[in-house]
Amino acid sequence: MLYYLFEYLDKTLDVPGTGVFQYITFRSALAFLLSLLLSTIYGKRIISFLQRQQVGETVRELGLAGQNEKAGTPTMGGLIIIFATLVPVVLFSKLQNIYIVLLIVTTLWMGTIGFIDDYIKIFKKDKAGLKGIFKVFGQVGLGLIVGAVLYFSPAVTVRTDTSTSDIFRAPTETVILPGPIEEKSTATTIPFFKNNEFDYAELLAWTGEGYEKWAWLIFIPVVIFIITAVSNGANLTDGIDGLAAGTSAISVLALGIFTFVSGNIIFSNYLNIMYIPNSGEMTVFIAAFVGSLIGFLWYNSYPASVFMGDTGSLTIGGIIAVLAIAVRKEMLIPLFCGIFLVENFSVVLQVSYFKYTKKRFGEGRRIFLMSPLHHHYQKKGYHESKIVTRFWIVAIMLAILSIVTLKLR
Show binding-site residues for Mg(2+). Answer: 235, 310
Q: Is the peptide bond before 191 cis (omega within 30 degrees of 0)?
A: no
Q: Can you tell me the distance from the alpha carbon of 129 to that of 305, in angstroms, rounded to the nearest whole number?
A: 22
Q: Is the dihedral of CA 261, 262, 265, 266 positive or negative?
A: positive
Backbone angles phi, psi at 189, to 5 degrees: -110, 130
Tell me the backbone φ, ψ of residue 363, rounded to 5 degrees.
-145, 140
Q: How far apart are CA 159 and CA 168, in angstroms?
A: 17
User: CA 241 to CA 251: how far, in whole Å?
Assistant: 18
Q: How many CA atoms lie within 13 A of 7 on its CB side?
A: 11
Using alpha carbons, select from 257, 403, 396, 404 the residue that is nearest to residue 338: 396
Which residues, 6+ apart, have CB-to-CB distance to 255 below 8 Å? 286, 320, 323, 324, 327, 329, 336
Distance between CA atoms of 117 and 152, rounded to whole angstroms? Answer: 32
- Residues marked as binding? 235, 310
> Which residues are registered as beta bridge partners of 175?
168
Q: Is 128 helix (H, G, I), strand (E, B) or coil?
A: coil
